[in-house]
């Protein structure tokens, strides 16, 4: 079994819910598990990971992973919102996975709302993490296509094209299929 995994998908693909279920199952079966998230993710509190369906788990919030060292009994490390870490943090995870035999499962987004790979996500791909695409449907009314992109909206409902591609929370985002993304994001240029 691969020991470094990247579970990725759009917002609403149940990534955090799956992390919480995975933590529960590993712990239930006697496998001590660390749950980590970036300190910048304060949506549901400093040390909690919540899913949209109401599940939650306690987590350790870290600014980076440079000094993270799991306790000797830890067998599994679960990382939420991995896209907010740095490529050097992924290299730390690679070192832990390769030299300790621990299983590391990262959960997060692959691309931002401007179709750019997050640097940490790109690093996970580059170092050969086993990729697991988590699927959800487009959030446009009546569309059943696979959601592959995120659209970010301002307070007036206009698609944001410039500036930061990251904002915490999902009130101003929609996960959409490629067709709807191209229609809405590129409509002013095509």
Question: Contact, 39 vs 67, CB < 8 A?
Answer: no
Closest by Cα among 40, 54, 78 to 168: 40
The confidence score (pLDDT) of residue 161 equals 81
pTM of the predicted structure, to 2 decimals: 0.91
Distance CA 67, CA 88 (A): 11
Antiparallel, parallel or unpaired: β 60-62 and 103-108: unpaired
Is 183 tagged catalytic? no
Run of H or E residues at 40:
none
Q: DSSP string covering 68-121, please?
A: ----TT--EEEESSGGGS-HHHHHHHHHHHHHH--EEEEEE-SB-TTSPBPHHH
How confident is residue 54, by pLDDT bands cut at 50, 70 and 90? confident
Distance CA 171, CA 89 (A): 28
Q: Which of 81, 115, 135, 183 is catalytic?
A: 81
Tens digits of per-residue pLDDT, 147-178? 999 998 888 888 888 766 555 555 588 999 99
The confidence score (pLDDT) of residue 31 equals 97
Report how far apart, in Å, the C-alpha atoms of 24 and of each of 29, 45, 70, 97 are: 9, 20, 18, 21
Q: Please report the domains of the chain, with CATH numbers, ordered by start residue.
A: 4-133 (3.40.50.300)
For residues 114-124, average pLDDT: 96
Structure tokens at 172: 């101003």
pLDDT greater than 90 at residue 18? yes
Distance CA 107, CA 41 (A): 13
Distance CA 62, CA 68 (A): 8
The confidence score (pLDDT) of residue 86 equals 97
Query: Residue 148 gets which letter from DSSP?
Result: -
The confidence score (pLDDT) of residue 190 equals 40
For residues 89-104, average pLDDT: 95
């Amino acid at each position: 079994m691969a020991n470094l995994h990247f579970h990725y998908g759009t917002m609403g693909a149940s990534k955090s819910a799956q992390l919480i279920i995975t933590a529960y199952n590993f712990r239930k079966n006697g496998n001590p598990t660390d749950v980590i998230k970036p300190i910048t993710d304060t949506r549901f509190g400093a040390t909690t990971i919540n899913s949209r369906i109401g599940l939650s788990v306690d987590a350790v919030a870290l600014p980076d992973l440079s000094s993270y060292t799991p306790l000797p009994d830890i067998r599994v490390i679960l990382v939420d919102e991995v896209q907010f870490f740095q490529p050097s943090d992924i290299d730390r995870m690679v070192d832990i996975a390769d030299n300790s035999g621990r299983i590391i499962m990262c959960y997060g987004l692959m691309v931002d709302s401007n179709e750019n790979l997050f640097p940490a996500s790109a690093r996970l791909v580059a170092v050969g993490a086993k990729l697991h695409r988590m699927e959800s449907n487009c959030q446009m009314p009546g569309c059943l296509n696979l959601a592959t992109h995120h659209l970010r909206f301002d307070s007036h409902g206009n698609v944001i094209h410039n500036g930061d591609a990251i904002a915490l929370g999902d009130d101003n985002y929609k996960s959409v299929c490629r067709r709807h993304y191209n229609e809405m994001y590129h409509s002013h240029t095509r």
